[in-house]
Chains A and B, each alone.
Chain A
Amino acid sequence: MQDVAAAHIPSATAAVWEPRLVGFLCYWCSYAGADSAGTARLKYPPNLDIVKVMCSGRIDPELIATAFVHGADGVLVLGCHIGDCHYISGNHKTMVRMPLLRRLLADLGIEPGRFRHEWVSAAEGEKFARLVTEMTEQVRALGPLSWPALLRERGIGHGADLRPWGE
């Protein structure tokens, strides 16, 4: 019995694979939403690490690709709800860019379930915690990504330099 339970509880010492997720969050709404999940002591999986931007309009598709190239198994993009953008319409740009990126990523072998784009307000701590939980489980079900290897395998990229970006 103990062994079964251990297999289901992610543990720092066990050498089981754990999904690595990167979240790009705008500072004014979604980052504050993540903070309110913390303030409310909501528990959610530790698999997602947050990268803060001032506005979701700053989230360049290249940054998302960088995350996938460097080993992210999933990416979550969160911005203010439409109409609530601190910068008037930065999230309108996000709203247009992300569906395009999702299709592009799908063409490049990344399952749609690995990339999610949602709106989270400063008050929506519960929604944030739920999204992270859902995303973690969804990506866990999809398994590890290893995108550069996958591209090589499929012959996509025509020899493009996919080495890790160096500083």
Chain B
Amino acid sequence: MGEQTVPLADPGHDNGKPRIGVFICHCGGNISDVVDVKQVAEEIGGLPGVTIATTHMFACSDAGQALIEQKIRDLRLNRVVVAACSPSLHEATFRQTLTRAGLNPFLYEHANIREQVSWVVEDKALATQKAVRLLRAAVRRAGHLVPLTKRRIPIHPAVLVIGGGIAGLTAARHLASRGIAVTLVESTPFLGGRMPRLAGLFPTGRPARELLGPVLEEVSRNPRITIYTNAELVHSSGFIGDFRTTVRLHPRGVAPNAPVRAATAACPEEVPNEFDFELTKRKALYRPYDGCYPAVPAIDWSACTICGKCVEAGGSHGISLTEPPTEVEIRSGAIVIAIGLDLYRPQRGEYGFGEFPEVLTLAQLNRLLDPAGPTHGQLLVNGRPVRSIGFMHCVGSMQHTEVHEPAAGGKLNAYCSRVCCTACLHAETELKARDPGLHVYDFHEDIRTYGRWHEEYYTKASEQGVAFIRFNPLHPPRVERDPRGQAPLVVRTLDRLTFNEELEVPLDVLVLATGLVARDMSRLVDLFRCALGPDRFLMEVHPKLRPVELASFGLFLAGSVQGPMDTVESSAGAAAAAAKAAALVSQATIELDPFVARIDEARCSGCRVCLGACAYEAISRDDGKGVAVVNEALCTGCGTCVAACPCSAMTQLGFSDTQMKSEILALLAGEAAAAV
């Protein structure tokens, strides 16, 4: 039965003979208004092993804890039971009380007589009875407790940052500034993520690449930061304090000394250029923009046919098309996940997208407005300047089951993507500033300029004469060719702001403010067992109390992998993740709960059943001895292997069969006699 084999060895405490102190909390009346705590104390005080049973108005208060400490010392108590609220609230509190009184904190048992008794049972006599049963069980279980020691896990003082966008770069920068070694891995050949494709950023209006440049400079020059681009996550093992992540490094194909211009010109492959959101084409040998990092171009292996023309043009040096990928194992005490998000891609025909060339996404418009973009900042349609432009909000966000087709995953994006409203208004004010005569129409179901200084863009756009048209989301606007030929497009809609007046708006260009969607997380979920929210973004432990931590210890979230964010929020999230990761890896060791599995080698038959039961690969088999071995650093203390063991050779510290059966027995005391 996997009985406890550890002897009770708490010096000075009566050689293990239980001297149990029971403290029953009134919780101000939350408990004592329903449960007759005095009667409970009297009944429990008479149980074998109980030295004292008493009540207190607030056991968790300083005075309550002082009483417990004093009684431990005066009465030489070696076990403590507190009957109070849920253990999730104050179990840790009272364990600390024991520690202060010189008693091992795991010689403590908690009975939940508030959430499980006084708040849910109306009849006072029945509530008192139930409280007595729960305490009887806690006292009996307490008699079988043994001292336990929290596990100490050494921390490898390095952090792996996954993702080289603004969040990953920011996290890496802050961590390195604390003197921590950082490895930054990026799946594409270039750092920077989405940010360099933007022209100006709200709320400052500063050009994105101007802001990003110094960050790239700082990260790339910092000797504490190792950067791997073209890196693919292959495998991860380990745990908090000592993660081992294997990364496959795909070759760049181009060396710094390669004759880049000739080689690029020789490349016959042309593919849509993702940097310009497919407005332009690029070669298979490319770099996204001037000033990118690394400055050396890379070969896009999904586009390259290995025709060899670039090698020929380059005189056979500096370019290799045959180099195999390599793998590296990265050791880290913590991992920061910063893989960002994707833009929603409108379905064909959604507001005319893909049907009419005059329908663009907001991301494409931003490329066209960029002075360094494909049209040098000129916005032309069919070779002519644009006279009227419309913006359509919430494309791919705030979707309704009545209106929208679910995406491939069968889910709708019911959430608000947050940044698109301000991004629209930002582009509208920019266009109006350039050409006050331009007719700008803003089609929205709602406008949410939630961020600091964001509302000013709305005010400014209103002052500049942008026409705001509010549609009913259940009857979204229709986009058609203008039958009268006044303009390429016409948008038909009802306007709620003018009491459902039917409008026909002729437009040269329609811009779709596409929402932000989660990337494919399946790889991360496989590797790191992350939790996904209903919006398919990664989910933190608690949105307010632990906003950048994943439930698995040692994993942190930075930026928009967690949900739609703008650059400001991504940077703030990344700084928070860096601070949490730094606080963790700056310690030499950390403490974990001691409720691990332990094997009794004498009982173990070496059958391997427990190996299959463990989700953490914490159990292996010593083939020499023919027995199972538990790696306590990997064990999370679920006890699944204990239930699986056919020989009762596996036990769980703190949840042994003896402890649990004594509890069951005490709960049913008096029933057994009747049963037999």
Which positions in A face B, CB cutoff 8 Å? 9-13, 20, 22, 31-32, 34-35, 37-39, 41-44, 46, 49-55, 57-63, 66-67, 69-72, 86-90, 93, 97, 129, 144-149, 162-165, 167
Contact = CB atoms under 8 A, between A and B. Distances in A.
Contacts of B636: 87
Contact of B88 (A35, A37, A51, A163): A35
B637 interface: yes
Nearest to A87: B638
B639 A58 contact: yes
Contacts of A42: 120
B115 A70 contact: no
A54 B595 contact: yes
Q: Which of A20, A71, A164 has the most CB of B within 10 A?
A: A71
Contact of B123 (A20, A46, A88, A89): A46
Q: Which of A32, A43, A46 has the most CB of B within 10 A?
A: A46
A86 B123 CA distance: 35
Interface string B123-144: 1011111100110010000001
Interface string B648-671: 000010010110111111011011
A12 B86 CA distance: 24
B133 A49 contact: yes
B642 A60 contact: yes
Contact of B675 (A63, A70, A90): A70
Given A70-B665, A72-B668, A93-B640, A43 B120 contact: yes
Interface of B: 86-88, 112, 114-117, 119-123, 125-130, 133-134, 137, 144, 529, 551, 595, 613, 615-616, 636-640, 642-644, 652, 655, 657-658, 660-665, 667-668, 670-676
A164 B664 contact: no
B115 A38 contact: yes
A105 to B, nearest CB: 15
14 contacts: A12-B123, A22-B664, A22-B667, A22-B668, A44-B120, A46-B130, A49-B133, A58-B638, A62-B657, A71-B672, A71-B673, A72-B668, A86-B638, A167-B665
Given A35-B86, A70-B665, A86-B551, A57 B643 contact: yes
Contacts of A167: 144, 658, 661-662, 665
Contacts of B662: 167
A89 B615 contact: yes
Nearest first, the 10 A-B pairs at minimum CB distance are A71-B671, A38-B115, A58-B639, A57-B640, A12-B125, A55-B638, A87-B638, A60-B643, A88-B615, A71-B675
A12 B671 contact: no
A149 B675 contact: yes
Nearest to B130: A46
Given A11-B123, A35-B88, A46-B121, 7 more contacts: A37-B115, A46-B123, A46-B129, A49-B137, A49-B667, A54-B639, A71-B675
Contacts of B672: 69-71, 164
Contacts of B116: 34-35, 38, 50
A146 B675 CA distance: 4
Given A66-B661, A66-B664, A10 B675 contact: no
Contacts of A62: 657
Contacts of B637: 54
Given A62-B657, A86-B551, A41 B119 contact: yes
B115 A39 contact: yes
A67 B652 CA distance: 19
A162 to B, nearest CB: 8
